[in-house]
A and B are shown apart, each in its own frame.
Chain A
Amino acid sequence: MSQIILGVGDYGASNSPGEDVKTFALGSCVSVVLLDPKTRTVGMVHVALPESSINQAKSREKPGYFADTGIPALLAAMVKFGCNPKGKGMVVKLCGGANVMDTNDTFQIGKRNALSIKKILWKYGMGAVSEDLGGNFSRTVTVSVDTGEIILSSPGRPNWKL
């Protein structure tokens, strides 16, 4: 079974049969999963922060790091697989965005990531059909290219599906 492993700020896509797209240890980071039924393509971006304005140089080097540059970069990457450049027809799922306990506003980066991503998706006319966001635990996400099924895992818990 081959896997595409994405790190923080990475994005990637696949339509190869038998392949998985995976990312590890989403704490406050959010994984945006785009499933295109027409081309059977799975795309994912591992977003760490909401806005690229804090570091434009980083957003040029690693656009996936920020929500506002990561989603356009993922959509552009998926065009190579024959997907619609604006994401039309795609199914969106979101995972991650956890926060530590009793957090104040400043430390709610997980929540701000999720909100920022939803705002950007809205501009494309997209919205998540399902999400596993928030909570106080980190998530590892594995998406099957064959079935589009998403399996989540976290230490101390049995795996679950989104």
Chain B
Amino acid sequence: MTAKISHEDIQKVIKSVPLLSASANQLLQTSTDPDHDLVHIVNIVKTDATLTARVLKVVNSAAFGLINEITSLDRAISYLGERLIVGIAIGDCAAQLFDKQLKGYEGEHGDLWRHDLRTAIASREVVTQSSSKINPDLAFTAGLLHDIGKALISDFLQGTASEVLDKIENDEISDYLSAEEEMIGFDHPRAGYELALAWKLPGAITEVIRFHHTPSEAKEELQELVYAVHLGDNIAMMGGCGTGADSMHYKLDPNYTKFIELKPDVLANIMLVVNEEFDKLERSFSESGESN
């Protein structure tokens, strides 16, 4: 019988994880501010030598195939775009979480990073290809962090995957979210929410982390963003890129149609673009020594 965990157990795990760096925090806050410019992003990166070096490594990685090396930070940021800069910063700072092998989900090493990266790309594509008014880069960043809670509860779930899959197969549990709650009394969106509060993440991102499987429960003014990441998450799983035994064992909320129009052809195109973009970014991040 797996033990139920408490709020204090989660807080203990959160305290054991390094906080986001000052620049990662500033980048997150700035990028979610609707009135910011790229120059604000450049100014934050310039103050962080490690981050600057990473950005230059990524932009010059073989995956981007640039003929001439980019040596100026301004040009690198302009070329990569804001979302990748934020992505690099988050991936670097939260490496301890993203690199964790999710044994509780029977996941492979690097699965969490790959799934979150693919969700980030997919969430952004959902927004850009559906004429949604959401900031695409915000959708990307929220997608990148949406499943961070899994890294916190994975260890508590060890050994449960087989039993959970049997119960779902026998209709004793409806999906993996309910399974997490039944097994340990805590699900990954809630765990991620606790981390988001501890890291003082922007409200919009916190809301996505908390409600990405139950978007209808999110604050009304943020539901469109939460639904975008909800769809991005499902698209990533449909692409075979999940975090282990739980992949695809979550419910799609069909009420996304209230906010986001997606015809089947558009969805097919999104899946195609996501596949190509993911291949490129995954390669560039691993070539430059980012989370993998």
Contact = CB atoms under 8 A, between A and B. Distances in A.
Interface of A: 8-9, 24-29, 48-51, 54-55, 58, 65, 98-107, 109-110, 112, 136-138, 154-157
A136 B244 contact: no
Contacts of B168: 136
Among all A-B residue pairs, the 8 with the closest Cβ atoms: A156-B245, A25-B240, A156-B161, A27-B240, A155-B106, A102-B251, A28-B238, A155-B245
Nearest to A104: B254
A107 B245 CA distance: 20
Interface in B231-274: 234, 237-242, 244-245, 247-254, 262-265, 267-269, 271-272
Interface residues of B, number: 36
A112 B105 CA distance: 28
Interface in B131-172: 161-162, 164-165, 168
Contact of A101 (B165, B240, B241, B250): B250
Contacts of B245: 137, 154-157
B247 A101 contact: no
A5 to B, nearest CB: 14
A65 to B, nearest CB: 7
A157 B162 contact: yes
5 contacts: A99-B238, A101-B249, A102-B252, A107-B252, A138-B242
Given A27-B248, A105-B264, 4 more contacts: A8-B240, A55-B269, A102-B253, A136-B168
B175 interface: yes
A157 B166 CA distance: 9
Nearest to B105: A155
Contact of A106 (B165, B237, B249, B267): B267
Given A54-B265, A137-B247, A156-B165, A104 B240 contact: no
B107 interface: yes
B106 A156 contact: yes
B26 interface: no
Contacts of B238: 27-28, 98-100, 107, 109-110
Contacts of B21: none
Given A8-B275, A27-B241, A48-B275, A100 B269 contact: no
A100 B250 contact: yes
